[in-house]
Amino acid sequence: MSIARLQKEPLTNLPFYEERVDLAAAFRWTARLNMHEAVANHFSLAVNDDGTRFLMNPNQVHFSRIKASDLLLIDANDPETLSGPNAPDPTAWGLHGAIHRNVRHARCVMHVHSIHATVLASLADSRLPPVDQNSAMFFNRHVVDGHYGGLAFEEEGERCSQLLVDPKVKVMVMGNHGVLVIGDTVADTFNRMFYFERAAETYIKALWTGRPLRVLSDEIAEKAASEMDDYPGQAERHLSELKAILDEQEPVYRN
H-only helix segments in the chain:
3-8, 17-32, 90-102, 115-122, 133-136, 154-161, 186-208, 218-229, 234-249
46 within a domain of the structure (yes/no): yes
pLDDT at 2: 42
Distance, CA of 244 to CA of 248 (rounded, Å): 7
6 within a domain of the structure (yes/no): no
Reduce the DSSP state of residue 252 to 3 states and report it: helix
Beta strand 42-46 with 108-112 is antiparallel
Distance, CA of 197 to CA of 8 (rounded, Å): 30
Count CB-CB contacts under 10 A for residue 117. Answer: 29
User: Stretch 133-146: mean pLDDT, rounded?
Assistant: 97
Q: Which of 54, 30, 48, 217 lies closest to 112, judged by CA?
A: 30
pLDDT in tens, 26-47: 999 999 999 999 999 999 999 9
pLDDT at 182: 98
36 within a domain of the structure (yes/no): yes
H helices, E strands: number in the chain: 9, 7
Rounded to whole angstroms, what are the CA distances from 222 to 83, 130, 179, 217, 230?
46, 9, 22, 9, 12
Distance, CA of 104 to CA of 145 (rounded, Å): 20
5 within a domain of the structure (yes/no): no
pLDDT at 34: 97
1 within a domain of the structure (yes/no): no
Q: What pTM was estimated for this model as a whole?
A: 0.92
User: Stretch 129-145: mean pLDDT, rounded?
Assistant: 98
Count CB-CB contacts under 10 A for residue 5. Answer: 8
Residue predicted with more confidence, 90 or 118: 118
To which H or E segment does residue 111 belong?
Answer: strand 108-112
Percent of the chain with pLDDT over 90: 82
Distance, CA of 177 to CA of 150 (rounded, Å): 9
The pLDDT confidence band at residue 1, using thresholds 50, 70 and 90, is very low
7 within a domain of the structure (yes/no): no
pLDDT at 3: 44
**Number of separate domains in the chain:** 1
234 within a domain of the structure (yes/no): yes
pLDDT at 12: 67
CATH code, 211: 3.40.225.10
The pLDDT confidence band at residue 24, using thresholds 50, 70 and 90, is very high
pLDDT at 155: 83
How high does pLDDT run on average in the chain? 93
Q: 17 lies in which domain range?
A: 12-254
Whether residue 223 has pLDDT greater than 50: yes
pLDDT at 4: 46
2 within a domain of the structure (yes/no): no
pLDDT at 6: 43
Beta strand 142-145 with 171-174 is parallel
User: Stretch 104-124: mean pLDDT, rounded?
Assistant: 98
Reduce the DSSP state of residue 42 to 3 states and report it: strand
pLDDT at 37: 94
Q: Which of 115, 116, 114, 165 lies closest to 143, judged by CA?
A: 165
Q: Which of 174, 63, 65 lies closest to 126, judged by CA?
A: 174
Question: What DSSP string runs through 3-33?
Answer: HHHHHHS--S--TTHHHHHHHHHHHHHHHHT
pLDDT in tens, 67-91: 999 999 999 888 888 887 778 888 8
